[in-house]
């Protein structure tokens, strides 16, 4: 059962008012976010207006929609009418306000959902850490001494802390799946291009996608249906499963490896060829497109950019177009090659991140036995999947009281229903599932003192 749909049903029945729900959510966020640093802007005026509209529809006997009164937040790169779309950068803080909502936000509003906040991110979505020079670092609700991941860290942290039932993020090379893994939430990268990108500040169009975070498969599925504007019933059946081998069984936590092998002990080990080359090509495409997007402004005021992304954008702006075109040609050939290789399988199993959340004070992780910057390498297992444009759902292993860890359930193009159904089976078996942070109140207080 979806907690989101249950909450919406209570609002539609009049058992709970959307306004009281919005007021409580806003108050909870204002109190708890002191120690999470997940929010960039609270939106009380808009939230209460939208909630009042929902209550008025209920009072008039009209259906406000499947997400009636459900509060949510969006990563700070979605257009929100009346606000500047900053993409996490002070460079755009004074930009003209958006004249309309992003299409995804508009669809959610039409479904009755209530927008309460915009959420922290790595500047221009370039990083896996949510370390932002202006807004600060988003902390992990499970341990405020650790990163929440990125670049959609604010979106993941707010959901993981139980402060909103869902949020929206974006995923280019893992920016939903990485923070989902580190915070113990469910996060989807859809089939590339399936969900609406209108009104979303771009990073690298070849890979950019948007999707929700939630705390259960059913909740994620419910929001995905609204965004996709279609209803797909997941069917319980026997799935043809493969475990990804090679690089996907290296740089992996022992608990992830054990879980993958326990979920599908007789499933074949599938080695994707040239994974390292695919990831390198993804780096080139991402860097080139990101650099090209900001080239003119970099030339005028490079020092105004967030130091954490400036050098990488400059490097991308200097890449020769020939190299970019070669990487895109490799991608097209590689996609066709892998599509044939995985055609007989419904779900591929892989780790989502190579480890649990790293410390804020030392944001490095072990990759191939050497310490490497978490900002760049937390996506070692997600980036090659983005390269293939396939849907991938990050699901949290059920391990209450321990730092979260996620797995990727990777499906065939446009077959999100398969990964939802497979995830629902694992959740029913107790293999995966959201765990409430041990003491969110205590954690946020510790974070405030850090």
Q: Which residues are catalytic?
A: 75, 151, 175
> Of all helices (H) and strands (E), which one includes residue 296?
helix 275-301
* Tokens matching residue 98: 């958006």
Residue 245 CA to residue 352 CA, distance in Å, equals 14
Residue whose token pair is 């896996």: 128
* Tokens matching residue 431: 């293999």
Name, in order, each residue with C-beta under 8 angstroms of 364's C-beta and a sequence gap of 6 or more. Answer: 358, 371, 372, 373, 374
Residue 234 CA to residue 239 CA, distance in Å, equals 12
In this structure, the strands spanning 406-410 and 392-396 are antiparallel
**φ, ψ at 306 (rounded to 5°):** -55, 125
3-state helix, strand, coil in the chain (%, to 5): 45, 15, 40
Decide if 49 contacts 23 (C-beta within 8 A): no
Q: Is the dihedral of CA 174, 176, 177, 179 positive or negative?
A: positive
Residue 38 CA to residue 140 CA, distance in Å, equals 9
Cis peptide before 151 (omega within 30 of 0): yes
In this structure, the strands spanning 131-132 and 136-137 are antiparallel
Decide if 97 contacts 84 (C-beta within 8 A): yes
322: how many CB neighbours lie within 10 A of its CB? Answer: 8
């Amino acid at each position: 059962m979806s907690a989101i749909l249950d909450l919406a049903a209570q609002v539609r029945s009049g058992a709970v008012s959307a306004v009281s729900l919005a007021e409580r959510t806003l108050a909870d966020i204002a109190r708890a976010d002191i120690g999470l640093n997940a929010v960039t802007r609270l939106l009380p005026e808009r939230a209460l207006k939208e909630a009042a509209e929902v209550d008025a529809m209920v009072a008039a006997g009209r259906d406000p929609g499947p997400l009636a009164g459900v509060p949510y937040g969006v990563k700070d790169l979605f257009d929100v009418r009346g606000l500047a779309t900053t993409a996490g950068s002070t460079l755009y803080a004074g930009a003209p306000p958006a004249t309309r909502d992003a299409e995804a936000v508009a669809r959610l509003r039409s479904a009755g959902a209530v927008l309460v906040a915009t959420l922290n991110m790595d500047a221009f979505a370039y990083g896996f850490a949510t370390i932002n020079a202006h807004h600060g670092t988003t902390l992990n609700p499970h341990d405020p001494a650790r990163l929440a991941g990125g670049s959609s860290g604010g979106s993941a942290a707010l959901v993981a802390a139980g402060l909103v039932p869902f949020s929206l993020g974006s995923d280019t090379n893992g920016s939903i799946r990485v923070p989902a893994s580190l915070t113990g939430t469910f996060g989807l990268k859809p089939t590339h291009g399936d969900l609406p990108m209108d009104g979303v500040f771009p990073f690298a169009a070849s890979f950019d996608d948007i999707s929700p975070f939630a705390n259960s498969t059913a909740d994620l599925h419910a929001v995905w249906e609204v965004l996709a504007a279609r209803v797909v019933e997941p069917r319980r059946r026997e799935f043809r499963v493969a475990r990804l081998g090679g690089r996907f069984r290296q740089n992996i936590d022992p608990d992830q490896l054990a879980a993958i092998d326990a979920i599908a002990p007789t499933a074949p080990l599938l080695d994707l060829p040239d994974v390292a080359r695919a990831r390198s090509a993804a780096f080139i495409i991402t860097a080139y497109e990101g650099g090209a997007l900001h080239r003119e402004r970099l030339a005028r005021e490079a020092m105004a950019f967030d130091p954490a992304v400036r050098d990488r954008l400059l490097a991308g702006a200097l890449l020769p177009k020939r190299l970019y075109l070669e990487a895109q040609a490799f991608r097209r050939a590689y996609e066709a090659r892998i599509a044939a290789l995985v055609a007989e399988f419904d779900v591929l199993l892989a780790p989502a991140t190579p480890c649990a959340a790293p410390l804020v004070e030392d944001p490095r992780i072990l990759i191939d036995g050497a310490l490497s910057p978490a900002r760049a390498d937390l996506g070692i297992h997600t980036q090659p999947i983005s390269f293939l444009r396939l849907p991938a759902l990050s699901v949290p292993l059920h391990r209450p009281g321990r730092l979260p860890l996620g797995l990727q359930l990777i499906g065939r193009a446009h077959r999100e229903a398969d990964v939802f159904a497979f995830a629902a089976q694992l959740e029913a078996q107790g293999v995966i599932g959201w765990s409430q942070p041990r003491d969110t109140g205590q954690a946020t207080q510790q974070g405030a003192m850090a």
